[in-house]
């Protein structure tokens, strides 16, 4: 879906940047249980460039990241969907990531959008994130909650752009532009109620047909961000001024069909937001795709 939207309308819900390096990882992933992964790596990040144009519109500029080597340590834990308290189903993941970079004393500073990182003797950042999905079936209906929280801190208050927290768009903040929020700390919560409704059965040839029902899912979401105005975030050399700190509520409704695989959403941001329409595959299938 994202590839088609990018090709036709310049709507690309991704923020790529380049990384080259190598490292080692140790992983423990028992069948049906929580998995743990520890990574130690040496890497170099570098900005990318856009070499194409959509049929209509234009692509958003890419984030300028400092082209410099660093050491990275990442600890990641994931809990697959399984039963939890009070008959709920829980899926969760957490990550703790540390970056450290040292430069030589004779480094030469050159002007540029990210020269502050290339001119310093070094930077160290610590970034943590937690996401959880909780669902509770109630008869044929279902209550679904999506939670996310993240924060990043740094020595000498210098955070590389790729370590900041980017939110906005149909997943983290429906009704607000994709990655329009760039923050040092943020949390989002989404409450959704899924109800089956009668719908036309879609024939699938020799495989039969879909059920004569679909799912309607009204929801409310809230995003809280702490924005640092001194964070020098640039896209293709242009300074991007993020929204102010505070809360950003939104409401919307989703429509799920084809065994709840295909999802259509209409949402509205209630604080300087806009109407947003999106088409996607249900998030439960992202790991398969």
What does the block give as tokens for 82? 């399984």
- Alpha-carbon gap, residue 199 to 216, rounded angstroms: 11
pLDDT per residue as tens digits for the range 115-169: 445 555 466 899 999 999 999 999 999 999 999 999 999 887 778 888 999 999 9
What pLDDT sits at residue 39? Answer: 98
What pLDDT sits at residue 99? Answer: 93
- Alpha-carbon gap, residue 72 to 67, rounded angstroms: 15
Report mean pLDDT in 10-residue bins for the chain, 289 residues.
Answer: 81 89 96 93 92 87 87 96 92 96 54 48 84 94 96 84 90 91 93 94 81 93 81 69 84 92 94 90 72
Note the CATH number of domain 2-285: 2.40.160.50
What pLDDT sits at residue 4? Answer: 83
């Amino acid at each position: 879906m994202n590839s088609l939207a990018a090709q036709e309308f310049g709507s690309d819900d991704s923020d790529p940047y380049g990384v080259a390096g190598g490292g080692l990882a140790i992983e423990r992933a028992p069948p049906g249980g929580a998995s743990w992964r520890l990574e130690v790596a040496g890497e170099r990040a570098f900005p990318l460039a856009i070499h194409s144009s959509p049929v209509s519109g234009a692509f958003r500029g890419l984030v300028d990241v400092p082209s410099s080597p660093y050491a990275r340590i990442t600890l990641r834990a994931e809990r697959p969907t399984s039963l939890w308290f009070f008959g709920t189903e829980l899926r969760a993941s957490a990550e703790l990531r540390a970056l450290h970079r040292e430069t030589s004393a004779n480094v030469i500073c050159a002007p540029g959008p990210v020269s502050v990182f290339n001119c310093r003797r070094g930077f160290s950042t610590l970034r943590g994130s937690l996401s959880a999905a909780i669902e509770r079936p109630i008869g044929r209906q279902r209550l679904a909650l999506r939670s996310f929280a993240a924060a990043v801190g740094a020595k000498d208050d210098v955070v590389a752009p790729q370590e900041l927290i980017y939110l906005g768009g149909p997943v983290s903040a429906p009704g607000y532009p994709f990655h329009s929020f760039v923050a040092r700390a943020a949390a989002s919560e989404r409450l959704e109620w899924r109800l089956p409704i009668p719908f036309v059965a879609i024939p699938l040839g020799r495989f039969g047909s879909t059920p004569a029902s679909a799912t309607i899912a009204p929801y409310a979401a809230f995003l809280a961000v702490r924005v640092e105005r001194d964070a020098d975030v640039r896209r293709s050399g242009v300074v991007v001024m993020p929204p102010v700190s505070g809360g950003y509520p939104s409401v919307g409704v989703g429509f799920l069909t084809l065994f709840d695989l295909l999802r259509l959403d209409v949402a509205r941001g209630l604080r300087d937001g806009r109407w947003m329409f999106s088409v996607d595959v249900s998030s439960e299938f992202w790991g398969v795709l």
